Structure 1
Amino acid sequence: MESGEDKPRHGFINRYWVLIVIVLWLIAWSARDWLAPAEPEDPPAESGVVLEEEPSAEDQEAAREEAAREEADREEADREEADREEAAREEAAREEAVEEPVEVEALLTEARETYWREGAAAALTVLEGGLETQAYESRERADILGELGNLQHATGDVEAAMGSWDRALEKLPEGERRAMMAPLRPIYSRHHPQGADHLERFR
């Protein structure tokens, strides 16, 4: 049987535990944010940069074909521009030819003598100067151009020589072209991209 002295002690202890529980509850309440589990961080925002997909083999092939077509178009445009410039130069030479036409045989003789006396460069100058005195459509231009081609071929400039011979053939009457074409065939066969077949256009 408990004595009267123990009753107040038990009542005090009960009140003491109630007070402890209240204090612990207050502590827990004030620390609720610290004790709560951390929320997952937001995923990083996607950047505005979009990675391009590597082009497929078909796309790469199409791009190469397009580049090749553009290159061919540029080359064709360059050739056409060169042709226009050449035509403009010839037109200007025709309009500026105000000198009296020289006598062709005398000019050719002078060019040959100059070649043996002063060299190829001086002879070319004689022929080119005489060419400028002739009317653009004159038959005499063909003789001068033919001799000019011969001199260019003798100096090793075969490409320039074939250009001069082509221009000479264009000026010659149809009946005289075959006589000029015969000795040119071996040269065109060796040096022209189309060979001797190129001369067929002058028939």
Structure 2
Amino acid sequence: MESGEDKPRHGFINRYWVLIVIVLWLIAWSARDWLAPAEPEDPPAESGVVLEEESPAVDEEAAREEAAREEAAREEAAREEAAREEAAREEAAREEAAREEAAREEAVREEAVREEAVREEAVEEPVEVEALLTEARETYWREGAAAALTVLEGGLETQAYESRERADILGELGNLQYATGDVEAAMGSWDRALEKLPEGERRAMMAPLRPIYARHHPQGADHLERFR
């Protein structure tokens, strides 16, 4: 049998162990996360976190914007191509017009050369200018202006192109044309006559022409200054 002194000691020890167990349990409970073995991380697909998917409406809006940008780029490229084509057409038209103008000028030059060659071939013995002018005036009074013009034009063809005598015939031709009312043709004949005259003789012819040019020529009498 245990003595009366051992009973209190056993009760104290039992209470002491109960206290130790409680303290250990509290320590273990507070350190449970630290003491627990680390669990492997789950892959993102198995983590349970649901990623937010983009809204289909956002995708459609982005697709529409991209399509609109592409369409605008195509339209801009088409406008630039049309502008280049238009510029090429305009350049081709200018070049064609220049070629046509050059061809016309060449045709005029060739025609002038042919006419001059024909005139030179057909030149007969030059007629006396005074006799020709007298014949033209007499024809005018007898048969009229048309017949007199024919006489002068025929006599003009017998003269060399650079001859001084052409100036007298052209001057008389201009007088006859003016008398018949063809002022523009008359001024053309007078201009040609002034070009043939020597400088010292031009002033004498220009004096009576000034009033006529002042009334009828676009540049007035100032046009005659070019023959000074």
TM over 0.5: yes
Label 1:161 to 1:60 Cα distance change in 2 as closer, same or farther (>3 A). Answer: farther
Report if the CA contact (8 A) 1:97-1:134 is conserved.
Answer: no
Label 1:60 to 1:26 Cα distance change in 2 as closer, same or farther (>3 A). Answer: closer
73-82 vs 177-186, greater mean Cα deviation: 73-82
Distance 2:50 2:177 in 1: 63
Report if the CA contact (8 A) 2:213-2:221 is conserved.
Answer: yes
For 1:127, which of 122, 146, 152 is the aligned residue? 152
124-133 vs 10-19, greater mean Cα deviation: 10-19
Q: Of the two, which has the highest radius of gyration?
A: 2
Q: Deviations over 1:128-176 (max 9, x none)?
A: 0000000111100000000000000000000000000000000000000
Q: Secondary structure at the match of 2:4?
A: coil
**Structure 2, unpaired ranges of 5+:** 64-88
Q: Deviations over 1:36-84 (max 9, x none)?
A: 9999999999999999999999999999999999999899889967974
Report if the CA contact (8 A) 1:131-1:144 is conserved.
Answer: yes
Which of the pair is proportionally richer in helix? Answer: 2
Label 1:55 to 1:29 Cα distance change in 2 as closer, same or farther (>3 A). Answer: closer
Label 1:195 to 1:90 Cα distance change in 2 as closer, same or farther (>3 A). Answer: farther
Report if the CA contact (8 A) 1:97-1:135 is conserved.
Answer: no
Report if the CA contact (8 A) 2:177-2:186 is conserved.
Answer: yes
Alpha-carbon RMSD across the aligned residues, in angstroms, is: 18.5
Distance 1:56 1:133 in 2: 100
Label 1:167 to 1:105 Cα distance change in 2 as closer, same or farther (>3 A). Answer: same
Label 1:47 to 1:37 Cα distance change in 2 as closer, same or farther (>3 A). Answer: closer
Report if the CA contact (8 A) 1:139-1:172 is conserved.
Answer: yes
Label 1:21 to 1:189 Cα distance change in 2 as closer, same or farther (>3 A). Answer: farther
Report if the CA contact (8 A) 2:178-2:186 is conserved.
Answer: yes
Label 1:19 to 1:51 Cα distance change in 2 as closer, same or farther (>3 A). Answer: closer
Q: Secondary structure at the match of 1:45?
A: helix
Larger relative contact order (C-alpha < 8 A, sep ≥ 6)? 1
Q: Secondary structure at the match of 2:110?
A: helix
Q: Measure how far apart 1:91 and its partner are.
A: 1.9
Q: Deviations over 1:151-203 (max 9, x none)?
A: 00000000000000000000000000000000001111111111111111110
160-169 vs 88-97, greater mean Cα deviation: 88-97
Distance 2:50 2:167 in 1: 68
Instruction: Provide TM-score, normalisation by structure 2.
Output: 0.52
Report if the CA contact (8 A) 1:134-1:140 is conserved.
Answer: yes
Label 1:2 to 1:44 Cα distance change in 2 as closer, same or farther (>3 A). Answer: same
**Structure 1, unpaired ranges of 5+:** none
Q: Number of residues paired by the alignment?
A: 203
